[in-house]
Structure 1
Amino acid sequence: MLLAVLFTNIEGNILVERFHGVPAEERLHWRSFLVKLGADNLRRAKSEELFVATHKSVYIVYTMLGDVSIFIVGKDEYDELTLSEVMCTIISSVKDVCGRTPTERLFLDKYGKICLCLDEIVWKGMLENTDKTRIRNLTRLKPPTDI
């Protein structure tokens, strides 16, 4: 299961978060842990360079994309290899929506469309779509033609 997808800015403020199957009382712990993890390791990172960590029997894949940090937490069948595939899909979709590598301002300007893309990629903690073209078509809010 994909437990969490978080987007933060350089200062560690959360821009978007999606938790699945994580009790409300544990969410604060995960938020602070991931922000601290990013602050410690992403300071000198190149854009789109993937980092992997483990914590409490879960896998974490995280990266920088322009001014935005992305964190994905998964467990069981969602190991670091699967999470890196999810991360590549999210990066590709965000860059597609923004038209380039996003600044924080551009990310917030495209917030609604990015949330739609996230909903098409991850649904209720399960990986739903990885095809960039299908995600783009589904986020246009038109019915898909290939059903």
Structure 2
Amino acid sequence: MLLAVLISNSEGNILIELRKDHIGEFFLVKLGADNLKGARNEELFVASHKLVYVIYTVIGDVCLYVVGKDEYNELALAEVIFIITASIRDVCQKPPSERLFPDKYGRICLCLEEIVWKGVLENTEKERINRLIRLKPPTNI
């Protein structure tokens, strides 16, 4: 099960949070603050505690954390974080920044909800995700 997807700025303020279960945000942000200094863009980092896995990275000037357990081990989470970073890059159309997030907040949240639904990986195809988040009104048939 996917427990959480968090996006924070470099100071540790959470910009977007998608949670299925209670996860210590402070722990994740502290983990990232210690390890992400000087990290290359989209370089993956892995942590685990008991049966919970955390994959995190820097994309632009924001930090992305994906937390899972059971069948969502570090390999499955790497696939999840890859599609999330690709979708965020497509929505922002330039390297994501804390300043850009308020303008793109709605579309980024829609992307996350299309990728992760109720703790399960739902969509992994970028083209399908882009079609689903267009926000066009339904057509009458």
TM-score by length of 2: 0.94
Amino acid at match of 1:87: I
State the partner residue of 1:120: 114
TM superposition shift of 1:108 = 2.2
Higher helix share: 1
TM-score of the two chains, using structure 1 as the length reference: 0.90
Q: Which residue of 2 aligns with 1:65?
A: 59
| Runs of 4+ in structure 1 over 6 Å off | none
Q: In structure 1, which of residues 37, 58, 61 is the aligned counterpart of residue 31 of structure 2? A: 37
Alignment partners' CA distance in 2, 1:75 and 1:18: 15
Indicate the percent of aligned positions where both proteins have the same amino acid: 64
Between the two proteins, the alignment pairs up a number of residues equal to 138
Question: For residues 40-89 of structure 1, what are the alpha-carbon distances to aligned partners after superposition, in whole Å with 9 as ceiling and x for unaligned?
Answer: 00011001000001013111000000111000000010010110000000
Describe the shift of the 1:116–1:76 C-alpha distance in structure 2 as closer, same or farther (beyond 3 A).
same
User: CA shift at 1:143, angstroms?
Assistant: 8.3
Partner SS, residue 38 of structure 2: coil
Match of 1:98 in 2: 92
SS in 2 for 1:16: strand
CA RMSD of aligned residues (A): 1.4
Partner of 1:51: 45
Report matched runs for 1:77-92 at 5 Å.
Answer: 77-92=71-86
CA distance in 2 between partners of 1:74 and 1:105 (Å): 28
2:132 aligned with 1:138: yes
Gaps of 5+ in 1: none
Gaps of 5+ in 2: none
Partners of 1:78 and 1:99 in 2: how far apart?
29
